[in-house]
Amino acid sequence: MITTITLNPSIDRTLEIERLVVGGMNRVKTKIDHPSGKGINVSRMLNSLGQPTRALAFVGGDSGRWVVNALKAEGIELDCVPVEGDTRTNLKIWAVAEGQGTEVNEPGPAVNQDELDLLLSRVRLEACKWDWVVISGSMLPGTPPDFYATLVTLAKSQGAKVALDASGGALQEGLKALPDLIKPNQVEATELLGWEPRDEAGAIRAVRELMERGISYVLLTLGKDGAFVGHSGQIWQAIAPKVPVKSTVGCGDSTIAGMLHGLRQGVSLEEAIGWAMACGAATATTWGTEPPELDGVKGVLPQVKISRRD
């Protein structure tokens, strides 16, 4: 079982417009709502792959109940930790003419210590049943900066392997607990290392430095330019296939899902990287944060190019 933890879930409302006019009128062509938040996106992709998954998240208010019901309709169990405020709604604006997305994200409701302790008790009780747990996304207001590190340590103590996908201080602190897998993008890698990996040589150096910190799997994603993956002192470069892009939201989450899907199946690391790249690319072809179907992933899987770079 692969479980995901999402401290700050959301309803993602994707609006399609022809061209983004800042300071002017923008008319919506289409609108679609999806249950979201980074961990929930991972669970939805895993579900599309046929991989057993469960989601654990803070939820509150009518919007939180909508997320629960939407995931239930997809066959995904959401273990809810109730909070007083309302689960947030985020806007994702896709401008067709520019081929670019603009995101407007709410901060989410504040959380108190009792609510944090309840989530920790769920992890303490259940983590022994998990193969992997994905801890990802932003933290709610009121969450201690080292809370991801606490979650990583707790899950690992129960025998679960941990994937961490965060940014800023949450990632910096979480890294101290030595998660098994991290998925920084270029900006996040720069924050961690204090220098920017601007080219292939820089990407290889960045992956190597992060592995040297004690991280077993380093998945450095570079958007349309693919990724560099490090494990056991070895480094691979993966080039993603070119696809018609409808939305890039959730592509990184699908990439983690594909990687863990492969690792849990026991395939070679090269094959797992292929699944990661294929899931990310296929997600870019769907509207909003809708995960692609398994056939869509399999359709681009043969187009992924992987080579050793160490």
Catalytic residue numbers? 253
Listed in sequence order, the residues at least 6 apart from 238 whose beta carbon sits closer than 8 Å to its beta carbon are 226, 227, 228, 229, 273, 274, 276, 277, 304, 305, 306
Are 211 and 218 spatial neighbours (Cβ–Cβ below 8 Å)?
A: yes
d(CA 252, CA 223): 8
Q: Which two tokens stand for residue 19?
A: 């061209």
29 DSSP 8-state letter:
S
Q: What is the dihedral of CA 198, 233, 283, 162, to 10 degrees?
A: -120
Paired strand residues for 14? 32, 92
Paired strand residues for 136? 165
d(CA 268, CA 291): 24
270 φ/ψ angles, rounded to the nearest 5 degrees: -60, -40
d(CA 78, CA 3): 10
Q: Where are the beta strands (DSSP E) in 37-176?
A: 53-59, 77-82, 88-95, 100-104, 132-136, 161-165
Helix (H, G, I), strand (E, B) or coil at 95: strand
